[in-house]
Structure 1
């Protein structure tokens, strides 16, 4: 049984409160656009695919609570709702992409009706699971082709069922390797300062009975050397046209370390994560978060009063350090991404 981060049925949306994991399994009801905004901003839900799905389903919930006199009024409400939700965490591109498709559908399909909108919004969950399974299988096949059996892999942050509608992206690759009996062991980083690796990925790996070990972010080089890690796979929140990939802070240094040790570094993400309007990583807007995420744990201060804090949520792994970008359409070299625009 797979963890459900998102539950939606009959116009009612609930999300698993990931701030309570792994100690408590609690769901939050999303009844409005503002509820969705807060849940995304405060990271009750996180992970680029999950954010996009929750965004779409939040709009689905909200439109069912209102009456619209015409398509123009509906389109304006959907547009402003998505703008509000996208603003909660601007680095991830997936929800922006979904909102553009949905807004265009409303404006330009002559036979577009209210039920068409609901169907489109609600279909995002099933579509995401299908996409993730393809990502997992493509990635596993590529890694086995490169490394053979007994893959010892390292991953960062959380990219599994808790970050998606199900199965996962980078963790989906790990699941597919496990299913094919090609996986020897997984190492997951704690992923400071928000500890998504320790709280969420470790939780998923134990839940799925995948052999795994948790390490501190500062242990990666030693772990690669001593534990014979031979591959790194991470997710992404935005991929530029040249292949530069933004992901959870700490990803850049993993790519550098992988290059030093001569092991492949893969990025796994849905095709919608690729931003063809973004030429390179320098153009990606990096979200900066509250200093308390670094200076406090569980509401208790651990850092000296008066110290300045810099807390970017993401960094960018340069394309020249990436072995391949794993998508549902296949695995591409970074320099091949720009040719996939159509």
Structure 2
């Protein structure tokens, strides 16, 4: 190449290089997409948010810096790169802005569910041959916002031709040791005399924190975490027979609603010679498929009596349906053997089985 041609080529080459290095035209931002849309975090969690500016055609629109902000940094803080950190319980609004446009999303910070870390049953074996056996449960647990209550249900797991037997206990918010956020709670059960023998298991253990968040453990889950949910029971005189109702009276037997609502009082007597009486309840149902009412409670003489008298009242509203209302009865003994009387079974036993409602 001669000298003159070289001098002509150099400016052209620089022009071409300059054209290749020039940035593409940055389009205005029409919208911003953000993800996730409504994140939920636990205290201390972090989460990376993604915000993408888009042009009017919905295409990704690079070249615009995204700025982040939080309406409540004490609940959820956000870094310049969109990293969320859960600082406290509650809800905050996170905003992403770019090119004069912005988008917001709600972020909720929840308490972590309560966690049970230990369960001890003392004693590990109980004998209910001649008397009730006290059993104490110590539950070690944690709750970020403080514990409200812990409850458990102990059930017999032995198969057989008897009613389902169970017992339950619960605690308040104050632990026996530690604090409401991390402590040991205790509750006790009097396992009734003549309960069925064999293995009893903590079939359900629930921990509820002050915000109402509840964690429920089954016996299998407790065992899987190394806890022993089993109580061994010795019982040479097992009670597997439910109570028997011997008397039932109703006052009044005919209910006239012409002058307004009326109250019907029920009195019934039941017997259980083995473990004694625990609870009884009465229900009344209108003709057809209408909604019924009920009442119940413990025996007037106290729990565990061989023969108990129960009284309770049911208000019948003024607009209740006229006709023959059927009566049902349920009675349970201390070992939770249950006998249910339908209306026809009450009639067969020679007991009152219905009331008459007029209006």
TM-score (norm 1): 0.22
TM-score (norm 2): 0.22
Higher relative contact order (CA 8 A, sep 6+): 1
- Compare CA radii of gyration and give the structure with the larger one: 2
More strand by share: 2
